[in-house]
Amino acid sequence: MEKSVVTSKGQTVIPKAVRRALGIKEGTVLAWSVLDRAVTVVPVSADPVRALRGILKGVEGMSAQHFLQDRREDLELEDAKWRRLGYAP
């Protein structure tokens, strides 16, 4: 596990091994999210369409209806989780 320190200005250095593994270079945009006190940082592709190309390769039988049903189920689970935590959606 790599570590870094946060400065008084809220800045930190991304360890070299992490930058190398994720292809993070100067000017790379990062997307941050927080869930259950855990931070996720993901580099945002300069060309998001190209980044998604082939993402469903090998997934057969996935119709738009199946996708939408899957997404509805995900949203229901997420809503239930937030309700358990005391946040009403």
Task: State whether 2 and 38 are in the same domain.
Answer: yes
In this prediction, residue 66 carries a pLDDT of 81
Separation of alpha carbons 19 and 2, rounded Å: 11
Per residue in 37-78, pLDDT tens?
899 998 887 777 777 777 777 767 667 788 888 889 999 998
Write down the pLDDT at residue 67.
Answer: 80
Range(s) of the domain holding residue 14:
1-46
Does 51 fall in a domain? no
Please check whether residue 72 lies inside any domain of the structure.
Answer: yes
Q: State the pLDDT at residue 88.
A: 67
pLDDT at 89: 55
Instruction: Look at the chain and report how many structural domains it folds into.
Output: 2
In a domain, 53, yes or no: no
Q: Are residues 40 and 1 in the same domain?
A: yes
Residue 69 within a domain = yes
Report CA torsion sign: 18, 24, 28, 30: negative
Co-location of 10 and 31 in the same domain: yes
pLDDT at residue 16, rounded to an integer: 95
